[in-house]
């Protein structure tokens, strides 16, 4: 199984990086984790066919994680996509998607798709079977607007991928990432505490409790990008074999 960082930046494009979007493929899976505003052009630039994607998992409703979805859906409509697409995310995803579609492309939320679009609400600490993957959401802490906020533990093809999404430290991150083959964790700052976000030093202090088999840091601000750390860090177009 392979994961490609389509975009791994923060909301401000620190370091010139794209918004959050991870592409996971295997023998039986082809899905995205988040779909930030810059996702569609980044997918096409990296030679990935959006219409081959079968599932999109959304962690929360901030634009740098969710804002690319209207563009992807509009592209699917005009390129005559035929295969079904599942979009799964926190409670309220149907209303939030309709609101954003209307804000960006008037009347688009009422246009009948040429393909089957299924919206699935994911509830915390409940495992869902979506095609060939099992996904277990964990509640995380990222403020008041743009939620509910979910982190995901994903099992597919004998591998486990965990993603913290955007969050300050919460004990839910321990079972989320424990023994995962790959933990993708926010490290927004190096040690400075920013409300609703995770610092590298806070995460590092608890890694012994999580014990992921592999860790990659993402969603880094300029403060973090200027540092050297003894762990892997994400970059746009980075490909990881799991």
Helix (H) / strand (E) containing 232? strand 232-233
Q: Which residues pair with residue 22 across a beta bridge?
A: 5, 33
* Angle, in degrees to the nearest 10, between helices 69-78 and 93-104: 70
Please, what is the end-to-end C-alpha distance for the chain in angstroms? 5
* Cα–Cα distance measured from residue 83 to residue 218, given in angstroms and rounded to the nearest whole number: 31
Secondary structure letter of residue 7 according to DSSP? E
What string of DSSP letters covers 167-215?
Answer: ----TTHHHHHTT-SEEEEE--BSS---TTS-BHHHHHHHHHHH--S-E
* 64 tagged catalytic: yes
Is the separation of the CB atoms in 104 and 74 below 8 Å? no
Structure tokens at 118: 């299924």
- What b/e sequence results for 57-69 when a residue is b if at least 16 CB atoms lie within 10 Å of its CB, and e otherwise? bbbbbbebbbbbb
Catalytic residue among 10, 34, 64, 236: 64
So which residues are the catalytic ones? 64
């Amino acid at each position: 199984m392979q994961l490609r960082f389509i975009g791994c930046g923060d909301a401000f494009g620190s370091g010139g990086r794209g918004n959050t979007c991870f592409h996971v493929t295997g023998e039986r899976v082809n899905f995205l984790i988040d779909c930030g505003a810059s996702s569609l052009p980044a997918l096409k630039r990296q030679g990935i066919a959006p219409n081959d994607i079968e599932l999109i998992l959304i962690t929360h409703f901030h634009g740098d994680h969710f804002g690319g979805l209207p563009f992807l859906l509009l592209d699917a409509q005009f390129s005559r996509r035929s295969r079904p697409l599942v979009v799964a995310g926190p409670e309220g995803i149907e209303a939030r998607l309709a609101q954003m579609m209307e804000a960006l492309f008037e009347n688009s939320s009422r246009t009948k798709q040429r393909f089957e679009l299924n919206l699935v609400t994911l509830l915390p600490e409940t495992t869902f079977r979506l095609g060939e993957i099992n996904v277990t959401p964990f509640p995380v802490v990222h403020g008041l607007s743009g939620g509910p906020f979910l982190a995901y533990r994903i099992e597919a093809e004998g591998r486990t991928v965990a993603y913290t999404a955007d969050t300050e430290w919460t004990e839910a991150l321990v079972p989320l990432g424990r023994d995962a083959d790959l933990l993708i964790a926010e490290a927004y700052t190096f040690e400075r505490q920013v409300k609703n976000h995770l610092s590298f030093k806070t995460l590092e202090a608890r890694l012994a409790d999580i014990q992921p088999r592999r860790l990659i840091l993402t969603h880094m601000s300029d403060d973090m990008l200027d540092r050297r750390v003894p762990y892997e860090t994400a970059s746009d177009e980075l490909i990881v074999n799991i």
